[in-house]
Amino acid sequence: MSEAANQQASYIVAEGKKRGATRDVRPEAAHDRFYTVLRVHAGDAILTDNWHTNEVLAHAKRNFEGYTFQMRTLEAWGATVENDRRGYYTAGGRVWVLDLELAAGKKPRVAPPTQ
């Protein structure tokens, strides 16, 4: 494996509480693929209605819905992009589903869906 290919196998986290940590990123997680997160939800999971679950879901919605991210950024944050329409993110011991839309590039935040 060439040195250039080996360097792209890791991603240095630039912000947040894990700043400076190195995360593995798949080679398919390209710099030039952008996704807008349309919705964060639990999929078909049955959630317990308690403070912790509600706080984690609210946090994921505030920080993902309506924003456009590079594929590499989503994966560095721990999300898994399954295809151009669906991704998964683990937070608070639960797996959250990300409804995605392929975007042409970085763009301003779109209005989150109304409840």
C-alpha closest to that of 88 among 101, 75, 103: 75
- Do 28 and 7 touch, CB atoms closer than 8 A? no
Torsion of CA 55, 106, 103, 28, to 10 degrees: -90
pLDDT band at residue 112 using 50, 70 and 90 as cut-offs? low
Q: Can you give the pLDDT at residue 111? A: 66
Q: Which two tokens stand for residue 10?
A: 């890791």
Distance, in Å, from the CA atom of 98 to the CA atom of 59, rounded to the nearest integer, reads: 13
Distance, in Å, from the CA atom of 46 to the CA atom of 72, rounded to the nearest integer, reads: 30
The residue assigned the tokens 């890791």 is: 10
Sorted by sequence, the CB contacts under 8 Å of residue 88 that are 6+ apart come out as: 79, 80, 82, 95, 96, 97, 98
pLDDT band at residue 4 using 50, 70 and 90 as cut-offs? very low
Q: Where are the domains of the chain?
A: 29-103
Q: What is the pLDDT of residues 9-50, one digit of tens each?
A: 554 455 444 555 555 666 665 567 899 999 999 988 888 889
Q: What is the pLDDT of residues 71-87, one digit of tens each?
A: 888 888 888 888 989 99
Q: Can you give the pLDDT at residue 45? A: 83
Q: Which two tokens stand for residue 6?
A: 């080996």
